[in-house]
Structure 1
């Protein structure tokens, strides 16, 4: 985790750009399996790229911090067993970190 100027909204929008879903769908209450996985992936990316606390991440995703902990554990499991999800999340984090370095340069 690094301190950045990247917001959760930017993470969500980047993930939406990489998938067939809108930012509103990712942040919404949809319960399809793939949407839930994207939401978990987005939360994991936000945790990796922002300096937000679990409480503030929960607020951004309209969840409490205990739910955030459970979702981050689920994200670790999914990343371990789903190479496509791992590639997606790694790519989003890498792209956003590269963007940070471009701004700083």
Structure 2
């Protein structure tokens, strides 16, 4: 029983040490995305950047959400990576996202 407890404790410690610092970066692109081909171009090129865990393109909102390991990469590097395949990325500030959500909520209320 003691061995099992010690093994379990060591395993938990190992998991705690290997915890990753996962962050999210939201950007808009120039030129704007307008089709699935644009989305595939962005996803196909960004997936090779260090630490990238996920890429979500939202064409109607003109947003690219990148989930990445902050221990392996920085937002500045991810933004520069867009230039490699002909886009210019601009980070969306948190306030802008909140403001757009408020506007969407107001629109939904007035539509009813």
**TM-score, normalization by structure 2:** 0.29
Considering fraction of residues, name the structure with more helix: 1
Larger RCO of the pair (alpha carbons < 8 Å, separation 6+):
1
Considering fraction of residues, name the structure with more strand: 2
Q: Greater Rg, structure 1 or structure 2?
A: 2
